[in-house]
Every structure is written in C-alpha cells, then in structure tokens.
Amino acid sequence: MVTIKDVALAAKVSVATVSRVLNKTGYVHEDTKTRVLKAMEQLNYHPNEVARSLYKRESRLIGLLLPDITNPFFPQLARGVEDEIHQNGFRLIFGNSDENLDKELDYLQTFKQNHVVGVISATNDPGSANYKHLSMPIVFLDRTGEHAPSVFADGREGGRIAALEIIQRNSKRITLMKGPGHLQTARDRFNGALEILSGADVDFHVMSTETFSFREAQKRAEELFSLYPETDGVIASNDIVATAVLHEALKRKINVPDDLQIIGFDDIPQSELLFPSLSTIRQPAYEMGKEAAKLLLALMKNENIEQSAVQMPVTFIERQTTRKVDDNE
C-alpha cells in the first residue's frame, strides 16, 4: 500500500506538505504542489481513510438503519439516502434492525466504533434509550419525531385523502383497515381516515391487521369478505394489505372497481404492476431518503437547524382500483 510517506519521498518534501496539498490547507508553493500532485498520480496514491478517521475522530461514513430492506418500501428510501450522501463524498454502513431494539443498539454501537459522522434510522421507537445519549447527529426517517430531527410523510393527511377520494367516488359501506398499532405512521393514516369517515354519510367498520405481512393480510381479507360481504370500498393500511384485498376480491370474482374500490398506502413499485393497478396514497420514498440525508448533512455542519422536522406531502395516485369521479357531481 502506498502511503503519504512514499509520496513525500517521491516529491522530495515532508509528509506535512503532502498532507497540506491533500487537504488544501495552509500555504504551499505552486511548484511543490505540482510536484506532490504528480507524485500522487504516479504512485496512484489514495489516502488511508482509517488513519484519517483515527486522528480526526470522524470518518466519511454514515450509518443507515432500516427495519428490513426486504420490505419493498425501504429500498427506495435507502437509494435516496445513498444518492444524496454519495454526492457529498460519504459512504454508507448499512444494517437491518428487524424492529428489534437490541439489534438496533448493536448497530448503533458499531456505527460509533467505526466513527460514523451521523446516522439515519427508520426505527419504530425514536424515543428509545438507544438514541438518548447518541453523541452524533441523527435523523429519523419515516418516523414522526417529536423533538428530534426527522423526515416523514404526512400520514394523517394521507388517511384523510384516501377517505375523501373513496367517498367522492361513491363507496357507501367502507372497511377501514387499521395497521399495526405500534407504528406511529400506521396510526396516523388510520386516524386521518377515521376523521373523515366519522364525519361523512357512510357506513364503515374497522378491521385490524397486526403486521404488514402478506400472509396475515390474506387471512384478514378472507374474513373481510365473509364477515362484511356488503363492503364496497376498502381503505387499506398499506399497499401490501391492499394487494391482499385485491387478490381476494378477484378470487371471489368481485368486480373492481365497479363493485368494490380499494385504496392502498405507500405506492410501492409493484402497486403499479398489479392488474388492475392499485390506486394508492403515495409517499415519496426516494425523496424522503434524499431529504433525510440532506438534513443530516446540514446537521453535521451546523448545530442549529431551524426546520428539523420535515414533513413530506402525500398524493393520491389514481389508478384502476378506484372509479373515475363523476364530473356532474
């Protein structure tokens, strides 16, 4: 491995000088700078980040903690984060936490041990002790943060929009699926929808799903249609659940969207690929990842950011599981 010493030798200067041109700090004569640069070039020198990190007590690494990259909502987030930090010369240490606080703590620990300069976490529990005494900037992603820096979508508004749109399209007996109670984001969207439904002239009932797994959603979907066969509109807690409902409806030869409308939440990539394609409330996942990265980068430079909770807008994506809205209304 070629070190700063080799470069110094080749350029006939001291390591201090090489360090100066490397970091563009302090005075260094144009000519010697050229010599040094040439030496670096010839030797194909790349500074050892580990040595740097040791002295400066900070690396060019950022920690990213996601519940499970295998869940289709998260890759978009991850990609947004990566694209943004990569531009700024940072790299990612990545881990899946499985919503497990011990695993989270373990990762946070190794992040620290590796001198990461900041972390982005999509934990369910931003209030956990894990984050209390974290001695570095952190931003929470996809989690409503009370006081901590965070980036999240406006779930409550999303819930409202979903309810409004389905009502506007004349569903009268609506089933509102409630996602896992321990997820703030799921609660928000549920409450938003509930708010509108309670104030509208429609019948509705609520059905809970404890996870976002397709398997469980399938079971609940079966129950839905046997218990409430009169349902003509479903507001699902996310796109996975909506997919399960659609699946079951098609299996029962229910006409979607004519006899049953379905609205999902998230707009994961495959929602568009379903047939009929899924109408849903879109969270701008990629952009959220980017925003979180931007916020973290800002936090790293400047201790006091004014706007440290950024709420991203959600939008209704009209596809084929909802009817066209009647112009005459």
Partner DNA sequence: TTGAAAGCGGTACCAT
Partner DNA sequence: ATGGTACCGCTTTCAA
Q: Is 57 in the site for DNA (CB under 7 A)?
A: yes
The C-alpha atoms of residue 32 and residue 58 are separated, in whole angstroms, by: 29
Binds a second copy (CB under 8 A): choice among 20, 115, 187, 189: 115
Number of amino acids touching DNA (CB under 7 A): 32
> If binding is defined by CB under 7 A, does position 270 make contact with DNA?
no
Contact assessment for residue 22 and residue 47, using Cβ atoms and an 8 Å cutoff: yes
- Output the smallest distance, CB 25 to DNA, in A: 5
CB nearer to DNA: give 52 or 247: 52
Please report whether residue 95 would count as binding a second copy according to CB under 8 A: yes
Residue 102 found at the interface with a second copy (CB under 8 A): no
Question: Taking CB under 7 A as the rule, does residue 3 contact DNA?
Answer: yes
Indicate the helix (H) or strand (E) that contains 290.
Answer: helix 285-301
Indicate the pairing of strand 315-317 with strand 279-282. antiparallel
Specify the stretch interacting with DNA by CB under 7 A; choose among 29-37, 70-78, 163-171, 320-328.
Answer: 29-37
Size of the site for a second copy (CB under 8 A): 51
Kindly state whether residue 321 participates in binding a second copy, applying the rule CB under 8 A. Answer: no
Q: 213-221 long-range contacts, Cβ below 8 Å, gap at least 24? A: 213/240, 214/240, 214/243, 214/244, 217/241, 217/243, 217/244, 217/245, 218/244, 218/247, 218/248, 220/177, 220/244, 221/245, 221/247, 221/248, 221/249
Q: Which has the closest alpha carbon to 233: 244, 241, 222, 245?
A: 245
Helix or strand run (H / E) with residue 184: helix 184-199
Query: What does each C-alpha distance from 279 to 69, 148, 166, 262 come to in angstroms?
Result: 24, 33, 10, 7
- The tokens describing 163, both together, are 């309810």
The answer to whether 104 and 128 have CB atoms below 8 angstroms apart is yes
- Minimum Å gap between C-beta 60 and DNA is 11
Binders of a second copy in range 236-265 (CB under 8 A): 240, 243-244, 246-247, 250-251
Segment interacting with DNA (CB under 7 A) among 49-57, 162-170, 188-196, 320-328:
49-57
> Which partner, DNA, a second copy, none, binds residue 75 by CB below 5 to 8 Å per kind?
a second copy
**What is the C-alpha to C-alpha distance for residues 166 and 203, in angstroms, rounded to an integer?**
13
43 is a contact residue toward DNA (CB under 7 A): no
Stretch that binds a second copy, among 92-100, 152-160, 174-182, 197-205 (CB under 8 A): 92-100
Within 53-72, the residues that bind a second copy by CB under 8 A are 53-54, 57, 59-61, 68-70, 72
Taking only Cα atoms into account, the Rg of the chain, rounded to an integer number of angstroms, comes to 26
- Binds 327: which of a second copy, DNA, none (CB < 5-8 Å by kind): none
Q: Which residue's CB is nearer to DNA, number 26 or number 229?
A: 26
**Residue among 35, 41, 45 at smallest CA distance from 11:** 35
Residues 43 and 3 sit within 8 Å (Cβ to Cβ):
no
DSSP assignment letter at 324: P
Give residues in contact with DNA (CB under 7 A): 1, 3-5, 12-17, 19-20, 22-23, 25-29, 31-33, 45, 47-48, 50-52, 54-57
Give residues in contact with a second copy (CB under 8 A): 1, 46-51, 53-54, 57, 59-61, 68-70, 72, 74-76, 78-79, 82, 86, 91-96, 107, 109-110, 112-115, 214, 240, 243-244, 246-247, 250-251, 269-270, 272-275
